Amino acid sequence: MNGLAVICRRVVQIYRAEGGDVVALAGVDLEIAPGEKVALVGPSGSGKSTLIALLAGLMRPSAGRVHLGQTDIGKLTDGELARLRGTDLGVVLQGATRNLLPYATLEDNIWLAQRRVRKVRPADVEPAESVAALVGLLGYGDRRIDQLSPGAQQRAALAVGLAASPGLLLVDEPTSRLDPVARDEVLSALDRVNAERGTTIVAVTHDMAVGEAFGRVVTIRDGRVGAEGRGGREFAVVAGDGTVQLPPAMLASYPPGTLFSVDDVDGAVMLEAEKPAAG
């Protein structure tokens, strides 16, 4: 199985409200290569959950384009989006039990999640025990979901998201409310999925341990990609309209409206704040 690439171009999402429109995403540009693991981080209300909902085809962008592989998902019908989510795209919502039937067994949950791919790609359907083994739950197939620990339930939710062998797995807060041991088991499961299957994985998280484990961290701030972390270093990102967000810690010294001169000095971009005019 090959991972799916993700490409967002100038994606805007506006929510209509009685008190006025709310801009959740204000021109997101993002590229994720096939087989990458990417953590989306940012404060509440920054737009990261909206972005993952757009990638899942649960809503359509107000403007801009979202491509999964070669597919512009904004051009798909509702039925085509539903088929995509049942075959090439796996989605794991926040809260493990939202993805599971609690009184059914793990094997039954996996079997139900494979019903669509069973119709269109029957040769690709894996035995439920193989999917369970992938997330570290070999031998748990006959256990009811409500008999599992919280950490095992989260891995069961991952198994359901992976049941159709998707090229892209979207996960919302995969380690929320888990103790460190259970969190590490979930992260190990995601790492194994990525290493063995080449699945592209995008996770929304508040847990920096997830970002460190993923290696690439994309910070969403004020509806835009504000920064990226790679290899332990943080980088500012030039948006499609040429804007660059300053790190939050610098905004106290350089508030909105500060004027900068911008120069290219031997390949290095130099910013110099304009000094206030003498009174």
Q: Give the residue-averaged pLDDT of 117-146.
A: 93
- Give the pLDDT band of residue 209 (cuts 50, 70, 90): confident
Write down the mean pLDDT value for the chain: 88
List the one residue out of 185, 181, 132, 137 whose CA is nearest residue 161. 132
| Mean pLDDT lowest among 8-17, 140-149, 170-179, 242-251 | 242-251
Residue 249, SS3? helix
How far, in Å, CA of 256 to CA of 252, rounded?
9
Q: Are 51 and 27 in contact (CB under 8 A)?
A: no
- Those residues whose C-beta lies under 8 Å from the C-beta of residue 51, and which sit 6 or more positions away, are 8, 11, 13, 25, 28, 30, 40, 220
Residues 22-45 have pLDDT tens digits of 888 999 999 999 999 999 998 888
Q: Which residues contact 235 (CB under 8 A, 6 or more apart)?
A: 227, 228, 229
Q: Are 106 and 147 in contact (CB under 8 A)?
A: no
Question: Encoding tokens for residue 42?
Answer: 């940012």
pLDDT band at 278 (very low <50, low <70, confident <90, very high): low
At residue 249 the predicted structure's pLDDT band, cuts being 50, 70 and 90, is low
In terms of pLDDT, which residue wins out, 37 or 256? 37
pLDDT for residue 160 = 97
Write the pLDDT tens digit of every residue in 57-115.
999 999 999 999 999 998 999 999 988 988 999 999 999 999 999 999 999 999 999 99
Q: What is the DSSP letter of 278?
A: P
CB 151 within 8 A of CB 178: yes
- Give the pLDDT confidence score for residue 54 in this predicted structure: 94
Q: What is the pLDDT of residue 187?
A: 96
Model pLDDT, residue 206: 85
Residue from 240, 241, 245 nearest 31 by CA: 240
Residue 125 DSSP SS3: coil
Convert 180-207 to b/e letters by CB count within 10 Å (16 or more is b). Answer: eebbebbbebbeebbeebebbbbbbbeb
**Span 238-260, average pLDDT:** 70
pLDDT tops 90 at residue 16 = no
Helices marked H in 86-242: 106-113, 115-120, 128-134, 150-161, 180-197, 208-214
Rounded to the nearest angstrom, the gap between the alpha carbon of residue 58 and the centroid of all alpha carbons in its chain is: 13
Domain boundaries, the chain: 6-250
Task: Read off the pLDDT band of 131 (50, 70, 90).
Answer: very high
- Angle at the Cα of 104 (from 98 to 107), degrees rounded to 5? 100
Question: pTM value?
Answer: 0.88
> In the predicted model, what is the mean pLDDT of residues 217-230?
83
For the residues 13-25, what does the mean pLDDT come to? 85
Predicted pLDDT of residue 260: 72
Q: How far is CA 141 from the centre of its chain?
A: 27
Superfamily in which the 6-250 domain is placed by CATH: P-loop containing nucleotide triphosphate hydrolases (3.40.50.300)
The residue ranking higher by pLDDT, 220 or 104, is 104
Q: Is the dihedral of CA 196, 205, 145, 162 positive or negative?
A: negative
